[in-house]
Amino acid sequence: MITESIEEYLEAIFRLREQGEAATTTSVAKELKVAPASATQMLKKLAKQGYLKYTPYHGVTLTPKGEKIGKKILRKHRVMQKFLNTMGLPKSRVHKNACELEHHISDDLEQAIYQRVESERPLPPGIPRDVTPITSLLDGRKGIISHISGGRGASQRLADLGLTPGTEVMVVKSAIFHGPLMVRVRGTTLAIGRGLASKIFVRTR
């Protein structure tokens, strides 16, 4: 059984790695605000359960099994933070509540909340309200490119990739809030940086 404590540890290790920091007993204990001895005990337990590889004095690395869970929980935390920020809560409460909620929302609810948060972001000048940013689409959803924002430079870079108004595009995989957006256009799968992808607005079918 995957407990909240297990999820917290795997999330912390994944977060440290994402930040380019070594996941040592000390750094994990600091991240989770627990005693190093408690962290050591838990890391050994997680290693026995196949979530990570633990080498004394050399830190830990997540196995594919552990990485999948750590990444998922961190993503849910960020989605809930974004959502709670729209409610005007103090930052201290936003983080605390996101930490609690990340363990209890389903994957479907997470995706629905993410889509709502992304679709409600203010639109750039000149973009009609009946279009949707491609970054808000769920995996597997299609749309027809309606508008490109950001000026001539962004339009040219996207045109070079085949992403022009009137073109059908499908989101293959969206790394929520971080990393590139994987899209399929004109029979080719492309990885587009999130900043550039945010310039694309579509009409969905």
Same domain, 114 and 160: no
Which position has the token pair 């838990």?
A: 42
Nearest-angstrom CA–CA distance, 104 and 119 = 23
Q: What's the pLDDT score for residue 126?
A: 80
Percent of the chain with pLDDT over 70: 98
Q: What's the pLDDT score for residue 192?
A: 92
Question: Domain containing 9 — which CATH number?
Answer: 1.10.10.10
Q: What's the pLDDT score for residue 178?
A: 67
Instruction: Kindly tell me if the per-residue pLDDT of 47 is higher than 80.
Output: yes
Instruction: Kindly tell me if the per-residue pLDDT of 182 is higher than 70.
Output: yes
Same domain, 13 and 56: yes
Domain count, the chain: 2
Same domain, 52 and 106: yes
Contacts of 143 (CB under 8 A, 6+ apart): 132, 134, 137, 168, 169, 170, 202, 203, 204, 205
Chain segment 79-123, per-residue pLDDT in tens: 898 888 888 888 888 888 999 999 999 988 888 888 778 777 777
Instruction: Kindly tell me if the per-residue pLDDT of 179 is higher than 90.
Output: no
Q: What's the pLDDT score for residue 147?
A: 92
Q: Domain boundary residue among 105, 120, 135? A: 120
Same domain, 100 and 148: no
Is residue 101 within 8 A of residue 83, CB to CB? The reply is no
Same domain, 134 and 107: no
Same domain, 99 and 130: no
Q: Domain boundary residue among 53, 85, 120? A: 120
Question: Long-range CB contacts (< 8 A, 24+ apart) of 112-118?
Answer: 113/79, 113/80, 113/83, 114/79, 114/82, 114/176, 116/83, 117/79, 117/82, 117/83, 117/86
Determine the structural domain holding residue 142 and report its residue range.
123-204
Q: What's the pLDDT score for residue 127?
A: 82
DSSP-assigned letters across all residues of 13-51: HHHHHHTT----HHHHHHHHT--HHHHHHHHHHHHHTTS
Instruction: Kindly tell me if the per-residue pLDDT of 10 is higher than 80.
Output: yes
Q: Which of 119, 168, 127 is nearest to 144 (CA)?
A: 168
Chain segment 123-138, per-residue pLDDT in tens: 787 888 888 889 888 7
Q: What's the pLDDT score for residue 24?
A: 92
Q: Domain boundary residue among 120, 151, 181? A: 120
Backbone angles phi, psi at 142, to 5 degrees: -115, 160
Query: Given pLDDT bands bounded at 50, 70 and 90, which one contains residue 19?
Result: confident
